[in-house]
Structure 1
Amino acid sequence: MYECFGSQPTAWAGKTYAEIEEIAKQDGSILILPVGSIEQHGYHLPVSTDTICADALAHEGSQMVFDDIPIIVGPALWAGNSPYHVNFPGRIDVPFSHLVEFYEAMAASALETGFDALLFLNGHGGNHNAIGGASKAIGLEHPDIDVLAMTYFGLAAGFIDEIRDSDPGGMNHAGELETSLMMHLRPDLVRDDLIEGTHLNEPYTHAYDDMYEGGPLSVHRLEEEYSETGAVGDPEFASAEKGKDIFENLCAELTLLLEEIYEQNTE
């Protein structure tokens, strides 16, 4: 089960300032900042789903390389941009421009300790452009630091078809993937008796249709236009077994990335 705040061996929040500095000063040191959101995830998942998944992956993947790579995971940044969920309760949102500035300020402060690389690990699709913009600005301000950003869904692209049972459109907001992950990471927070979603049938050919399907067209719609419950996809296909399989594969992919980052900063 997902560990509590600060208890992981890679947690910034559980260390003294001297311990953080010792990690940062080592050659090839990496800081991961997990990024999520607080927003509705249908009737069956908590509003913290995006933050929980990103934070859990950051810590588990880091722990797999902790003995060989100087690495630390900052406190999960729960603030996100979710204006399309405006008509659903439970959202704590930050305007896009403020969010970019917030990410920049948080990273700039943390990087003063002396890390060689920074990775934003995002769990909310609506943050994708914000972390991209922030990472570019941070990179310009810190030219000697490798600054990277990614949304964790993308790490599953190479293996997800071997695990999923839903058709394209089934892995979206609170769909098969996120529900499975939460069943594995935090089963105590999943309302099994309320699992319900609406399969996404996007009318535009070149628009997003699934976490792993779709084209370049961006279409603005409010979430209730896709689903009355707020869950978009097929959470009925989710299981804890799938969640475990997906999470373990995600961790393996993340460790490969962390090893590459380390190698790039120790050459």
Structure 2
Amino acid sequence: MTHLLAHLTTADVAAIDKRDAVVVQPIGAVEQHGPHLPLITDALVAELMTERAIALLPNDGNVWQLPTLHYGKSTEHLGRPGTITMSAQTLMSTCLDLGRSLAASGFRKLVFVNGHGGQPGLLDVVARDIRVETGLEVFPTMPGRFGLPDGIDTVDEHYGIHGGQIETSVVWALAPELVHMELAIDDGAILGDLYASSRHLSLEGAVPTAWVTDDVSLSGVLGNAPAATLEDGRRIVAHQAQSLAEAFLEIKAFSFPTLGAPTASAVLR
């Protein structure tokens, strides 16, 4: 049976064992990624990494992939040609409706596999809202959160967050026909100087700075794209897909204990 939930019939879905079934929603963005990567980069990474992870599971994995939600919250890239964005409210409402629908179908576990760095915080928030309203156990994650395999030397560590060395390597490995390395550039290094005298301020650290692309990049790239390699991309994809597959199995086996509602006296204490 296919792992693509939307390819099943309603009778097929009804027959799925919902006790440990895991439904995965890849979510990305359609936004500028500089002159060398496609607009669909984040959605592509979320979808293909999910596919690769599920392919590593045993046949009885009971993990089901939904059609990719291609649009995300990309307001930081507005004005750059091709960027299409939802508002935070629209994206959160969409995710909440998704959770309600899955709960109504009897599912109990939902995973967001996110490919866009501009919305992890939003998905963390809406995951809890879905949990509270529907009872679903919800797990927002991102392939990049699994880190890099040993031996990957990053040259843009302090500014490589969008279209740089790592992201370009990954897309090169997943969809080489969409990558134009002859147009790859290094941009955004200004960030190293911008925060050089700050102890606490950074772009996305302990005291983050709300930013848009036009604040920090001429090209739309934040990172050293020419440093990307196909071999690094293949190693990163293999590492992160394996980690994601392991996470799916952990999610399948996980459940919160049934503690019961707190008593009035316990609440007062």
TM-score where L is the length of structure 2: 0.86
Superposed CA offset, 1:120-149 (max 9, x none): 111111111221121111000122x31111
Aligned to 1:195: 184
**Secondary structure of 1:256's match?**
helix
Superposed CA offset, 1:187-214 (max 9, x none): 11111211113144243343455xxxx6
Please identify, of 73-82 and 9-18, the stretch whose mean Cα deviation from structure 2 is larger.
Answer: 9-18
Aligned to 2:70: 78
**Secondary structure of 2:113's match?**
strand
> Does residue 91 of the first structure (1) align with residue 83 of the second (2)?
yes
Which sections of structure 2, spanning at least 5 residues, go unmatched? 258-269
**Contact 1:34-1:51 at 8 Å conserved across structures:** yes
Match of 2:205 among 209, 215, 224: 215
Aligned to 1:5: none
Please identify, of 252-261 and 195-204, the stretch whose mean Cα deviation from structure 2 is larger.
Answer: 195-204
Match of 1:149 among 140, 146, 168: 140
After TM superposition, give the deviation of residue 65 of structure 1 in Å: 1.4
Query: Which whole-Å CA distance do the structure 1 matches of 2:97 and 2:30 have between them?
Result: 20
How many residues are matched? Answer: 252
After TM superposition, give the deviation of residue 226 of structure 1 in Å: 1.6
Superposed CA offset, 1:170-227 (max 9, x none): 5310111111111111111111211113144243343455xxxx62222122202221
> Does residue 40 of the first structure (1) align with residue 32 of the second (2)?
yes
Q: Which runs of 4+ in 1 moved over 4 A?
A: none
Please identify, of 45-54 and 110-119, the stretch whose mean Cα deviation from structure 2 is larger.
Answer: 110-119
Which sections of structure 1, spanning at least 5 residues, go unmatched? 1-7
**Contact 2:46-2:113 at 8 Å conserved across structures:** yes
Query: Which whole-Å CA distance do the structure 2 matches of 1:216 and 1:97 have between them?
Result: 25
Matched AA of 2:15: E
**Contact 1:173-1:233 at 8 Å conserved across structures:** yes
Aligned to 2:108: 116
Query: Percent identity, aligned pairs only?
Result: 26
Query: Which whole-Å CA distance do the structure 2 matches of 1:199 and 1:263 have between them?
Result: 42
Aligned to 2:261: none
Match of 1:16 among 2, 5, 9: 9
TM-score where L is the length of structure 1: 0.87
Query: Which whole-Å CA distance do the structure 1 matches of 2:12 and 2:232 have between them?
Result: 37
**Secondary structure of 1:98's match?**
helix
After TM superposition, give the deviation of residue 64 of structure 1 in Å: 1.3
After TM superposition, give the deviation of residue 13 of structure 1 in Å: 3.0
Matched AA of 1:228: L
Query: Which whole-Å CA distance do the structure 2 matches of 1:222 and 1:109 have between them?
Result: 34
